[in-house]
Amino acid sequence: MTAAPETPAAPGLAVERTGASAWIFLGAAVLALAGSLFALEAVISVAAILLAIFIFIEFRKVPWAQQAAALVLVTVTAVLAGGRDEILEAAVNGLTRTLPFVLIFASVGWLQSAARESPSVRALREGLMRLGPGQRFSALSLTSHFLGAGFNLAGLALLSPMLDDQRESGDRMRMACAIIWGFAAATCWSPIYVGTAVVLSGLPQTSWIEVAPLGFFIALGFLGYGFVYDRLVRRRGRPRVPGSRSSTLPLRPVLRVLLAIAVLFVLTTTLIEGVGLRLTDAVMIAAPSYALAWLFLVHGRRGSGHIAAVARGVIAGYPRMRSETTLFFCANMFGFVITGIASGDQAAGFSLPPLPGPFFLHALLAIWLYLVVCAIGIHPIVSVVVFTTVVSPEQLGIAPALLAAMLMALWGMGTSVSPLSGTTLIMAQLSGRSSFTIAWRWDGTFYALGAVGLAALVSLLR
């Protein structure tokens, strides 16, 4: 099932005590980074041990749905693995495979906290609230897209006041969809999403710099499709939003926020392409240092005490990554066993049989099946791990970069139609509607039809 981040106080406000679990998670992240940078297997082993301790301590606090999913994955893994030694090997490998994703989890809170402290981000949000009828949907979708690309889930929380400003339930639904659809489209190309790391780890023959341009093109397609869908299906007659007080967004905060995101991406890209770091290592180095520099620019030397409090708040919030970390560990255990089966004597059973009919139809049916699996609550990482293990780009006749961009797009689509994902659960809190309503009624038809366009694009470019 899809991991759902618990969302109490915003990270960076230092309202909770920094417990042992937070320090254990931080230690695992720091050691994982050091072990990866300097190829120190012993350090990576210690990081894996700390990660196992973190999961063991925090498992009882994981929501029941994610606990059930984790137990199912572990049980199936144990059955497929066979003996005790094989199960232990799968567990060790699962911990090691999860460490790169821990780096992403540890990084996101820093970016979210810096964005929440930014006067430019607040000014941009206030400008959005002053926009009149006919402009809010597209502006909100674009803003959610770029804020999500730079600051992940903070993009949703930062735009939540927009929902409080809607008087009619139909307008509230439209604005919520604008936020979700814009945010989900950013998974097609942003390096800050964990889905990017998952896909690229499953397709090591390509890189983020190769995938990003194509992914950005697909994201623009989804943004345009969302605008057309809203106009044709959701926005009937004249909008009922209160009259316009402004026809344009304030230029200065827009440019400043875009510049901040651009600097983050330039820094990350430089570490990847210039220094030769892995994506997860680059994000772990770039995000905290970038966030602290941004906070210093906002608060100055006199605000050092507040900056320290923000940093303590980020670390204190690490235990809220318990659900994601647990599910990724279990899914990676499962993926390791599936890889062994696929490469062993039973590999023939996993080979892709020849299918009749056009490639477009195969792609469309596969995407629809994936969306159904996500809609019933299965975590996208399970689907991605199994798919990239059993099928290669060569078997499908698709360029690796195109397949990676497609899977990254599917990550955002899957989390949007899942009633148990962090995206829909957070939006449920902000909008006051059920996450099942958001996932199945608000997003379901939109992405079911959007699958047609994605399948057509992949068919044309393959």
Task: Point out which residues pair with 246 in neighbouring strands.
Answer: 131
Give bridge partners of residue 131 from the DSSP assignment.
Answer: 246
User: Residue 375 has what pLDDT?
Assistant: 93
What are the tokens at 401?
Answer: 């970069």
Count, residues in the chain: 462
Q: Provide Rg for the chain, Cα atoms.
A: 22
Q: Which of the residues in the chain have pLDDT under 50?
A: 1-15, 238-244, 347-349
User: Residue 1 in contact with residue 69, Cβ under 8 Å?
Assistant: yes
C-alpha 116/C-alpha 121 separation (Å) is 7
Distance from C-alpha of 163 to C-alpha of 427, rounded to nearest angstrom: 10
What DSSP designation does 7 have?
Answer: -
Encode 107-120: b = buried (16+ Cβ within 10 Å), e = exposed.
bbbbbbbbbbbbeb
Note the pTM of the prediction, 2 decimals: 0.84
Please spell the DSSP secondary structure of 293-356, one letter per residue. Answer: HHHHHHH-GGGHHHHHHHHHHHHHTGGGGHHHHHHHHHHHHHHHHHHHHHTSTTGGGGSPPP--
What is the pLDDT at residue 357? 73
DSSP state of 397: T
**pLDDT value for 152:** 82
Q: What is the pLDDT of residue 2?
A: 43
CA distance 380 to 310: 32
Per-residue CA distances from 405 to 2, 408, 409 (Å): 21, 5, 6
Could you give phi then psi for residue 443, rounded to 5 degrees?
-105, -25
pLDDT score, position 133: 59
What percent of the residues of the chain are helix, what percent strand, and what percent coil, each to the nearest 5? Answer: 80, 0, 20
- Residue 241: what pLDDT? 47
C-alpha span between 272 and 249 (Å, rounded): 34
| Amino acid 340: pLDDT | 78
Q: 219, 176, 187: which is closest to 425 by C-alpha?
A: 176
CA distance 338 to 344: 10
CB 389 within 8 A of CB 337: no
